[in-house]
Structure 1
Amino acid sequence: MDMVATSWRLTPQSLPLLPPKVRSFRVSTSSSSSSSSLSLSPVIQKTLSLIQNSGVIACLRANSAELAYEAATATLDGGISVLEIVMSTPGVFQVLRQLVKDYPTLALGVGTALNAEDARNAMNAGAKFFMSPATVKDIMEDVVKDEILCIPGVMTPTEILSAYDAGAKIVKVYPVSALGGVQYISALKKPFPHIPMVASQGIMIGS
């Protein structure tokens, strides 16, 4: 599956800017996607498909659980189907559990998972995916075979290939704006057309 999705940061203060329907960013899929998807579990395949169809992962950071829940519901009701709540948000797992109950068909996950415990807690709270700013060995070894999509952070071609070889089905290119933005992603897709990528950092509404 050749995929380029985009992650943009959402804060409660940005909610008035949200249109009723958020425009999807471009996602490209190669002809090899059908063969690569055969090895995926139905749960992970569904999450990948939601990311592919959406083309954007909204990243939510809030100062309280109440604000996080309000911002998340406004975002999801506004048309976003893939939402990441950052680990630093107070009560992140409680918020996630409630959102999973309220929006069972959407892809809800956790961001900035730094260790296997974070990943396990996310999975126990009902997360369909989690993101890390780096490729964390303990996470890859502990949960890569579970029914949750692990999206490790990468920066260089070596890191991309290493994460993919370790079992990652999709990688997060971070910090993409500091690395050259669209041009950097385009350059990476030439040697790695078979590795799905999420462009992360510095992406805002309207980017």
Structure 2
Amino acid sequence: MAVTSLGICARTSSASLSLLSSPPRSPLRVSCYCPQLSPSPIDKTLTQIQNSGVIACLRANSAEQALKAARAALSGGISVLEIVMSTPGVFEVLQQLVQENPNPALGVGTVLNVEDAKNAINSGAKFLMSPAMVKDIMVDVKCAEVLYIPGVMTPTEILSAYDTGAKIVKIQSENISPEEQQQLFYQMPYLIKRQSFKIISMKFINLQILQLCRAMRL
């Protein structure tokens, strides 16, 4: 906690000569305690994603396979991991992983409705992903202080997500070439320059995309 001392001194009027013979008064000191605000859970998750540089996406045919693969990824240094909704027992898998690994940013992907969002949050998810912007999920996660990452493909969708309150979006890049992604980024300079807004590229990422993202500090 920061402590600030504030001194308050009274001025003496030239007409009040009788006060000059009085002993000087000590200035009044007031201590102001200014607690330093800690980052919100959403900001912490954003920082983890930015520091990691990679969001690993896990899709498995069974809960056992998911647990085995996730444990291997986390032990290998992955610090941000998304488990796709189609994985059987996804919420139980997430809950088990959170108990074993409380520090990494673990989340759920392909979340399409509020019910699944709430189940993921209750299981310990630090972030949720959707293939498109689902406004009801955005409203719900704000109250839970969980990061929401909607999918986008056009400048209009990026701006709409930003206006709705998204701090980060993912570009669905399956059918978008590196050159088209570059043009898309260049059309949004006013958003890219904002430190509070991030854009990430998903799927079929090659060296050219990585170099572009690094150059633009995405």
Q: Give the TM-score category using the shorter length.
A: 0.7 to 0.9
Q: Which residue is equivalent to 1:198?
A: 200
1:1-207 matches, cutoff 5 A: 42-174=40-172, 176-181=173-178, 183-190=179-186, 191=188, 192-193=191-192, 194=194, 195-203=197-205
The alignment partner of 1:173 has SS state of strand
Deviations 1:130-157 (A, max 9, x none): 1000001221232234210000111100
Corresponding residue for 2:214? none
What are structure 2's unaligned runs of at least 5 residues?
A: 1-36, 211-218
Specify the SS of the correspondent of 2:200: strand
Structure 2 vs 1, CA of residues 41 and 146 (structure 1 numbering), >3 Å: closer, same or farther? farther
Shift of 1:41: 5.2
Q: How many residues align?
A: 166
Q: Give deviations 1:80-107, integer Å, cap 9, x for gaps.
A: 1000000000000000001101110110
How far did 1:40 drift? 9.6
Check 1:83–1:169 CA distance in 2 against 1; reply closer, same or farther (3 A cut).
same
In 2: Cα distance, 1:133 partner to 1:144 partner: 19
Deviation at 1:199, TM superposition (A): 0.6
Conserved 8 A contact 1:65-1:91: yes
Letter in 2 for 1:178: N
User: Are the counterparts in 2 of residues 144 and 168 from structure 1 also a CA contact under 8 Å?
Assistant: no
Detail structure 1 runs of 4+ shifted over 3 Å in the superposition: none
**Alignment-derived partner of residue 8 in structure 1:** none
Q: Which has the larger radius of gyration?
A: 2
Q: Which residue of 1 aligns with 2:28?
A: none
1:172, distance to aligned residue in structure 2 (A): 1.0
Name the structure 1 match of 2:12. Answer: none
Partner of 2:144, secondary structure, is coil
Structure 1 residues 72 and 118: CA distance shift in structure 2, 3 A: same
Whole-angstrom CA distance in 2 between matches of 1:167 and 1:115? 17
CA RMSD of aligned residues (A): 2.1
* 1:184 CA displacement: 3.2
